[in-house]
Structure 1
Amino acid sequence: MSQPYVVRYVGGPLDGRVDSLPSTPDDPKQTVTYVHLHGGPKIVHIYELSYAVEYGCEYRLRAEEAEPDVIG
């Protein structure tokens, strides 16, 4: 019996989520986009792929980029 391929999420609203796949994906996604819809504005979180040898891979929340300076 083979072990499932485990995908973990670190940070943001998906922190602690664990998905199990039956096998290793041939070409895992480099990023995962999570869109939170609610009564207010749409909130987008981007997770970047990071490998974890002991269990598969994990997606880590991308650090927010600094807002550009506004001149004016």
Structure 2
Amino acid sequence: MTKSYVVRYVGGPLDGRVDTLPDLPDEPRSTVTHVHLHEGPKIVHHYDLCYAVEYGCEYRLRADADAE
């Protein structure tokens, strides 16, 4: 029996999204970029890979450096 690999997203427009992959990737991407296109300007969000005790890993919305 193989166990699927679950990836969760925390924060931003992908908050709560869960992707299920058939196996653990050899090298999970350290950053995922999500580009939101709509009638307004293009909005880009970056999610960084983090370890989560409950799920193994999750992608968390990167804090905006310009907000500080």
TM-score (norm 1): 0.85
Q: Which residue of 2 aligns with 1:64?
A: 64
Cα RMSD for the two superposed structures: 1.3
Q: Which one has a larger percent helix, Structure 1 or Structure 2?
A: 2
Q: Which residue of 1 aligns with 2:12?
A: 12
SS in 2 for 1:52: coil
Q: Which residue of 2 aligns with 1:41?
A: 41
Q: 1:32-66 CA distances to partner (integer Å, 9 max, x unpaired)?
A: 00000011100000000012244331000000112
SS in 2 for 1:29: coil
CA distance in structure 1 between the aligned counterparts of 2:24 and 2:6, rounded to whole angstroms: 9
Q: What percentage of residue pairs aligned between the two structures are identical?
A: 73
Does the 8 Å CA contact 1:46/1:61 hold for their aligned counterparts? yes
Structure 2 residue runs of 5 or longer lacking an equivalent are: none
Moved more, 23-32 or 50-59: 50-59
The letter of the residue matching 1:14 is L
CA distance in structure 2 between the aligned counterparts of 1:10 and 1:2, rounded to whole angstroms: 26
Structure 1 residue runs of 5 or longer lacking an equivalent are: 68-72
Structure with max Cα Rg = 1
TM-score (norm 2): 0.89
